Structure 1
């Protein structure tokens, strides 16, 4: 979904630039300046930034805690499964039905818990990336103003197919964030 949105946003930005340049040919010729575009790998910038590293550590700690809780619940489910298997030949069918119900409830509870933890991790990641973006905005604004870029694109697979070294500003952004 994100890739689709980024592709659409990039296509829209390029369309706007094309329409703007077509609708104002006299002004463009008078200025005689080409459109300046830069490309940055946000994945690489985030990975190498202090804020990105902190977010990654926070997510890893969250995932480790969730995994420990999941493993504890899986152990309980395994014990219930074993009790059900041991009780199959038993004459006490009421107890066997009760164990099967406990097993099914525990399995359902584990699935719900796992889904909840996934949503929570996505929320942590999303909020963290929004905070990181706020930190990056002044850096991009300064670079855009200093080098007079008309457009700065995120180098994303499927959006930007090839990038020349002369327009790739990833390392510049990383350096300025330090």
Structure 2
């Protein structure tokens, strides 16, 4: 009963037609998308920012069709995931073999493939690109050179801009792992 009431209370704050503003009298200015079922509004750019879709849109324009743009975008996500893990592991271990092995294990993991191909979550797929950067930055701060804090901030900023709910989990892992 409480969940239904909470959902109803939030839904009543949103406009019932088209895209509009939540809390129209000024307390919270968030653009809304309206789902076609039950007239429930979803805040735009709250958990999954639209900036994560810009590469897919550009590839869609370049290829001229949605399917070709989607395949190129998925390929770009996988390539970026492999390269990010390879470069971060190479900088830590100085071994190309370990870098290739870790990037293969990381990129072909069940979770990475299921998020990207089965669930088709672009924000969740981008998490796999920025997670090694955030962990490498934490490694630099904790064990090597604390003046390279910007690496971790770049990784965490990428996590937050791609997928806020997953970024909270990764940041908690960062905090408790070092």
Query: Normalising by structure 1, what TM-score?
Result: 0.23
Give the structure with higher Rg (CA): 1
- Structure with the bigger RCO (C-alpha within 8 Å, sep 6+) is 1
**Of Structure 1 and Structure 2, which has the larger fraction of its residues in helix?**
1
Query: Normalising by structure 2, what TM-score?
Result: 0.23
